[in-house]
Structures are given as C-alpha cells and as structure tokens.
Structure 1
Amino acid sequence: MELRHLRYFVAVAEERHFGRAATRLHMAQPPLSQQIKALEVELGVPLLRRTTRRVELTDAGETYLERARVILDAVEEAGREAQSIAAGMTGRLVIGCVGSATYSLLPRLARGLAQELPGIDFSFEGEMLVPDQVRAVSEGRMDIALLRPPVHDPTLRVDILRHDRLVVALADDHPLAGRKRLHVGDLQDTDLVVHVGRRDSVMHNTVLDLCRRAGFEPRFRAEVSETSTLLTLVAGGLGAAIVPAPVTSLELAGVTYLPLTGAGTVPLAVAFRSGRRAAHLHRALEAVRRLVADD
C-alpha cells in the first residue's frame, strides 16, 4: 500500500463517482478502478458499493475514509513543518545576555525577535557572567550569547556587534558625584564595587587593568555577580563602580552616572557554536545583529 492508494480512495469516496474522481486526480478511469480494487483486495474487505450511476461507501469504507483523511492530513502537515524548519521559521533558541546589556538590550531583543520570528520559541537568560555564557553555549545548553570578549573557547564563533563606552556609577552623596566627568585616576582613593573575579569576569579584569594602567592598585570593597546588585551597593555607599554605558538604562534611586574619560570602550559581541547550520539559528543571529545595530 502506498499513499497514492489512500489519495485515490479519498477522491472516489468524496466524489462518489469514478469518472469525476479520475478527472480530479488527472488520470484515466480504468487505472483508478484497478488501484481501488487492488486496495480492497489487500485489505480483504470491500470499501465501496458500485452501481451504474454512483458509488456508495460500505461501513468499512466510511471508517477507512476517516482514517485515510487523518493520515493524509498528517503527511501534509509533516511536509509543511519540514519546509518551515528548513526555512528557519520554527524552532527553539535560548539566548543569554551579559549583565551590562540585560536592562538596555534584552527588552528590545525580546520584543523584536517575537515580532520578526513568531514561529521560533525564544527563551532568555539575563545577568550572566561571560565564563558562564561560554560554558553554556559550548555545552549546548544555550544557543546565542551576548557577551563581552575576549572568549578563549575555540569551539565558539564570536562576532563584535558594537563598542560601549565606560562610565562611573556613584552614590548621589559621594564626594565625586558633583563632577561633570572623571578620569580613572580620580578613583585612586575610592572603594570600588566590581563584578566577581573568581570566574574570570571580563568586567572585573577590565576594571583591574584600567586602575593599574592609571598607576594604582584598586580597593575592591565588594564583588558581586549581578549588575543590579552592584548598583544597589553603589546606592548604599559601599563604593563606586566602572560599568559600560548601557547600564545607565537601569535607573536606580540614589545612583549618579558620570562619563569616564580616557578609559576607552568595551566590545559587545554575539557568540555561538561554530559549524552550527540550523536555519532558525542563523535567522535569529541576523535579527539580533540588526536589532543591536538599531539600538
């Protein structure tokens, strides 16, 4: 039995006439009659009652028609689903975002991706440290990471999306808060709050390098994993923090942001496993690049 036998039977059963069914199927009537007869012989039961004027379904034929329609519909749906997957229109992706971009970029990404790629199921994780993102993508638990390079895992492809300038977050009543801008050296006698360094945090190392290039060893008062916690401690007066400018979108009472001159910028990149060819992944990557560029 082949799918064409089911299609032939459904056409005859719906038309109740071999001639009309043959026209519908774009074939001659004798071969159609032969195929239906062969189907009945294979099943061992008559499906049709034939008269000179029309065709009627037997009780077995009525039941077989219902099942045949279900089978053919399922085959068509499977084909549509395969075509949709091949075109990158459906699938599931997990996207992780570094803390400094979580509050500025993630809302725009979530909204934009849902609008552009409604057939893809997106899951988001924010406030992630770069080492955790790299591990998750490498192990296949995450598909796309928005992170701050460098990334030393050779299994990942890393594309720079943009460069963000650095700013200083201070408590409103901090002695330096009244300045228009700061230089890294101005923080020499100030306690600092930084991202945790025990797992090779990119921002931790960035702050450490900036301070040493300015000629002093920083005083780290607290190390935290989440950017929101870092700013909460700044508001509480534990110290200042050097952060990428997108963090300023997280408005927190008691925190002032000042430009940091001479500190350069930090890159924001998208990372994913090299060699992955899934169409829905690459459609999402294109959308992410576009949305970040427009941010």
Structure 2
Amino acid sequence: MDLRHLRYFVAVAEELHFGRAAERLHMAQPPLSQQIRQLEAELGVELLHRTTRRVALTEAGRVYLDLARGILADVDRAAHQARLVSSGAVGHLSLGCVGSATYSLLPNLSRRLSVELPGVDFSFRGDMLGPDQVEALRGGTIDVALLRPPVADRSIIVHTLRRDRLLVALPVHHRLAGRGRLRAEDLAGEDLIVHSADRRSVMYDIVLGLLRDVGVEPRVRHEVGETSTLVTLVAGGLGVAVVPEPVTALELRGVAYRPLTGADSHVELAVAHRADRSEPHLARTVEIIRATVPGITDHTPRRDTAHEDEEGRGRSGA
C-alpha cells in the first residue's frame, strides 16, 4: 500500500467532497477518485458511500480514517525525528572537564549547549584529570572531554582550543605574595601542592618539569586529585601551587595569584573525542565548544578585597 493512498483517503474523508479534496491535494479530481477506488479494491471494503449529491463514510471508513490518521502522524513524527538526529539536534552526551575549565568554562558552555541543542540530553563530570578523561573516552563513559594535552592515544582526536597562562597560587600572607610576577626559580625551597603523580596528571609533569628545567628540585608536600582541593590547601597555608589561570574563577578567599614568567609559562586546553565517533550531535557539540571558548580566552587579574590584610597585600586573579 502506498502512503499516498492514505493521504488521499484522509483528505476525502475530512472534506466529504472530491472536488475540495482534490484542491487541497493540488491534483485533479478524476485521478483522486481513481486512487480511492484502487484503495478500496486493495482493502476489499467500501470506505465511502457516493451519490451524485453527497459523499459519506461507511462504518469501515470511519474506523479506517482513525487508523490512517494515526499511521500518517507516526510517519511524520518518524521523519521529523530522523531530520533532528541527522542535524545533530537530539541525542545523549556525557562531557568530562578538567578542573580549571570546570570553574571558568563549564557554566557558560552548559548554558550555550542547552540553548543551541535543547534536544540533546547532556550530563557533565567536572574536575577530572586528563588521563582519567582519556580512559573514560576509551571506555565510553564520557563522549567529549575538555582536557590538558598531550594525549598519546591515537584513537583520540584532539582539537587545541587555547593556551592558558600559568600562575602561582599563594597564601595571601606568603612572602612572595607581595611581588607582581614570579619566576620558577622563586619557588626553590617552597612546599608544593600538586596534582597526583600516581594518577598520571598532566599538570604534575608540567609543574615539576618547569622547576627542574631551571635547576630547582621540587619539594612536593601534598598530592591531590581535584583542583578545588589543591587551591583549598593553598588557602590553608599548606604550600604553594602552579595552576592554569582559569583556576582563579574559584575566587577562593585566602589565595593570591601571581603570573609565572618564562618561556614555558602556558598550558594548552583542548577538546577531545574518540576518532570512531561520528554522530551528528557529537560533531555539533564540538563545534559549539570551539566557538564558545575563544570568547573567554583572556583573563584579566583583578583585586580580591575579601581577604586583604591591613597593608592591602592580598590580591587574587580572575
């Protein structure tokens, strides 16, 4: 049975007039009458009573009209859903986010995704270390990752989004907090708070590499898994940390941030996904991420007056 037969029948049954139905369908009346007779012949039942003065539905026609309307509605819904899927407008995605981007990027990004892709069901996992995100991408527990390169796995596609400046996070009353800028050499002998080495943190390798490149042997006192915990320990006076600038979005009281100078004083942020994933809604999500991030690439330090000491030495970047 041709779906056109159903549409023709519904038009005639609703109009109860072959001429008006033909106009509605943008066709001539004789072919329409012929199509309805073919449908009745195929079904083996009479759907319409025809006289020279009127057209009326038979009992079988009334039942068939309800069913035909339902079938056509289902077909239209299926076509609409297929178009949505093809355009990337519907689906399910889980997005993992490295700690510093969780605070600075995720609020704006989640809002934009909900506006531009309202039919996609998003879930978010924040404060994930890069290696954990790569493992989650491989295992399919997340679909897209915002992480810090490098990523050695060739099954993962990585798009660099921006380079974030590195800062030194200090307790506000620390002896180095009064300086405008710091060098890696200035951290000699300081107790360091770093991301966990046993979880293969990218930042762990970057920070220790920066110090060793200038002849400073790092003195690691605390290793943590979450960036928020790292900054909290700094606020508690347990040491200093080197962090990407977006961490300042936490605006944690008791912490001062100072720019770190040097040739390697930046770290990249990237969006990543598995190379074998090609769903339209995933591609649309990556497009939106790449369009969203450049607008917040630059971070301008500002004063944090919430926890300044009497001499006004306490400052925080943002």
TM-score, length-scaled by structure 2 = 0.86
Instruction: Tell me, in whole angstroms, the C-alpha distance in 2 between the residues paired with 1:199 and 1:172.
Output: 29
Aligned length: 295
Q: Which residue of 1 aligns with 2:130?
A: 130
Letter in 1 for 2:219: R
Q: Which residue of 1 aligns with 2:279?
A: 278
Instruction: Tell me, in whole angstroms, the C-alpha distance in 2 between the residues paired with 1:293 and 1:179.
Output: 30
**Offset at residue 21 of structure 1 (A):** 2.1
Letter in 1 for 2:2: E
Q: Which residue of 1 aligns with 2:225?
A: 225
Letter in 2 for 1:91: G
Matched, 1:290 2:291: yes
Instruction: Tell me, in whole angstroms, the C-alpha distance in 2 between the residues paired with 1:26 and 1:107.
Output: 51
Q: Which residue of 2 aligns with 1:86?
A: 86
**Offset at residue 152 of structure 1 (A):** 0.6
Q: Which residue of 2 aligns with 1:16?
A: 16
Q: Which residue of 1 aligns with 2:189?
A: 189
Letter in 2 for 1:293: P
Question: Secondary structure in 1 aligned to 2:193?
Answer: strand
Query: Percent of aligned pairs with the same residue?
Result: 62
Instruction: Tell me, in whole angstroms, the C-alpha distance in 2 between the residues paired with 1:155 and 1:139.
Output: 12
Instruction: Tell me, in whole angstroms, the C-alpha distance in 1 between the residues paired with 2:108 and 2:253.
Output: 23
**Offset at residue 28 of structure 1 (A):** 4.1
Letter in 2 for 1:294: G
Instruction: Tell me, in whole angstroms, the C-alpha distance in 2 between the residues paired with 1:200 and 1:264.
Output: 20
Q: Which residue of 2 aligns with 1:40?
A: 40
1:109-163 CA deviation, whole Å, 9 max, x = no partner? 1122223333333222210110111122223332221111000110111111111
**Offset at residue 175 of structure 1 (A):** 2.8
Structure 1 stretches of 4+ moved >6 Å: none
Instruction: Tell me, in whole angstroms, the C-alpha distance in 1 between the residues paired with 2:142 and 2:166.
Output: 28
Instruction: Tell me, in whole angstroms, the C-alpha distance in 1 between the residues paired with 2:253 and 2:26.
Output: 74
Instruction: Tell me, in whole angstroms, the C-alpha distance in 1 between the residues paired with 2:26 and 2:110.
Output: 49
Matched, 1:212 2:212: yes
Instruction: Tell me, in whole angstroms, the C-alpha distance in 1 between the residues paired with 2:106 and 2:26.
Output: 54
Question: Secondary structure in 2 aligned to 1:233?
Answer: helix
**Offset at residue 42 of structure 1 (A):** 3.8
> Which runs of 5 or more residues in structure 1 are unaligned?
none
**CA root-mean-square deviation:** 1.8
Letter in 2 for 1:174: H
1:91-114 CA deviation, whole Å, 9 max, x = no partner? 232221111111011111112222
Q: Which residue of 2 aligns with 1:4?
A: 4
Equivalences for residues 110-259 of structure 1 within 5 A: 110-259=110-259
Instruction: Tell me, in whole angstroms, the C-alpha distance in 2 between the residues paired with 1:53 and 1:142.
Output: 66
Instruction: Tell me, in whole angstroms, the C-alpha distance in 2 between the residues paired with 1:62 and 1:132.
Output: 61
- 83-92 or 283-292, larger mean C-alpha shift: 83-92
Instruction: Tell me, in whole angstroms, the C-alpha distance in 2 between the residues paired with 1:26 and 1:189.
Output: 86
